[in-house]
Amino acid sequence: MRTLITGGAGFIGSHLTDLLVARGDEVVVLDDLSTGCVDNLATSIDSLQFVEGSVLDADLVDSLVARADRVFHLAAAVGVHTILGEPLRSLRTNLHGTENVLEASLTHDAEVLIASTSEIYGKNTADALSEDADRILGSPLTARWTYAAAKGLDESFAHAYAREHGLRVAIARPFNTVGPRQTGRYGMVVPNLVRQAIAGAPLTVHGDGTQTRCFGYVGEVAPALVALLEEPRAHGCAVNLGGAREVSILELAGIIRDRTESESEVTLVPYSEAYGEGYEDMQRRVPNNQLAAELIGYEPRLPLERIVDAVVDGVRGRLERAGSRA
């Protein structure tokens, strides 16, 4: 199987790359290394072709998709700090990049999986968000919502390509996926707090810490992406992939302190200080994973403590490698 992975040097993309290389796929990774890094591909780099470039380069995308049977499209501007700091580049990448991938997949008759996000549900705090749940987004002029707006349009594009042209496309909506190799640099809470705990620095919990998330484990989400594309019943659908346990960020900080045996205190940081004035957070985001269970037998199993342990091992490993290089 010839597989193109856009964003394959990123956090989720590199785990997917390792998985598919191990399965014997001929893998080509396209990544512009904006938030990803070649280090993430250390395990597989000798068994794949790496192309440094952007999904905004339509000719490049077309030439790579021409040589592929299937495409996993994970390249995107990600992380709250990226979206707030570079709204224009983020919008272009997340809209036009996806359109380029879909158009090339249609031209060359490749199957394609589009990575969307639970962000598209916005401020809907329902008990368990099903795929057809309403979206509650703030103003399109608020930078944070441009990510959800772009990803939502990506889904509409994908769905229209499926309906009008018969493109074999599946859409995944991961919920706060975490694991080794995720960097805290662009805002993600788990690697950020783990790094702080290991350094003995205060754990920065935003707001009052009562906001909740359900963290999914990359070791379970990456194989689910493959299973979704390989399941014809998933084509034309959007499917949630989330964690099992709802946890407040304050509670998460406590778990991270315990697992790292850190003495760090927890500090509450106002949103305005963390992200600037006018930032809106989601108070709650809980997935209904029923559709993924029915389609591909997806069931998040790894307990949150073990997920945190995996992140801790990853962060410690990186620090050791950086130390031995210095």
CA angle 225, 231, 237 (to 5 degrees): 75
Is residue 147 flagged as an active site residue? yes
In which element (H, E) is residue 244 found?
Answer: none
Contacting range for ligand UDP; rule: CB under 6 A; set: 127-135, 198-206, 256-264, 301-309: 198-206
Residues in 231-250 at the binding interface with ligand UDP, rule: CB under 6 A: 249
Contacting range for ligand UDP; rule: CB under 6 A; set: 23-31, 122-130, 185-193, 217-225: 185-193
Q: How far apart are the first and last CA of the chain?
A: 40
Q: How far apart (Å, rounded) are the C-alpha atoms in residues 3 and 6?
A: 10
Q: How far apart (Å, rounded) are the C-alpha atoms in residues 238 and 240?
A: 7
Residues in 154-183 at the binding interface with ligand UDP, rule: CB under 6 A: 176
Kindly determine how many residues on this chain lie close enough to bind ligand UDP according to the rule CB under 6 A. 15
Tell me the residue type at 259: R
Indicate whether 212 belongs to the interface with ligand UDP (CB under 6 A).
Answer: no
For ligand UDP, the binding residue among 47, 125, 204, 290 (CB under 6 A) is: 204
Site string for ligand UDP, 94-133 (x = CB under 6 A): -------------------------x--------------
Q: How far apart (Å, rounded) are the C-alpha atoms in residues 163 and 324?
A: 53
Q: How far apart (Å, rounded) are the C-alpha atoms in residues 264 and 254?
A: 10
Q: How far apart (Å, rounded) are the C-alpha atoms in residues 161 and 80?
A: 29
Contacting range for ligand UDP; rule: CB under 6 A; set: 12-20, 37-45, 98-106, 200-208: 200-208
For ligand UDP, the binding residue among 15, 151, 181, 213 (CB under 6 A) is: 213
| Residue 214, SS3 per DSSP | coil
Which residues contact ligand UDP by CB under 6 A?
80, 119, 176, 187-189, 192-193, 204-206, 211, 213, 249, 281
Active-site residue list: 147
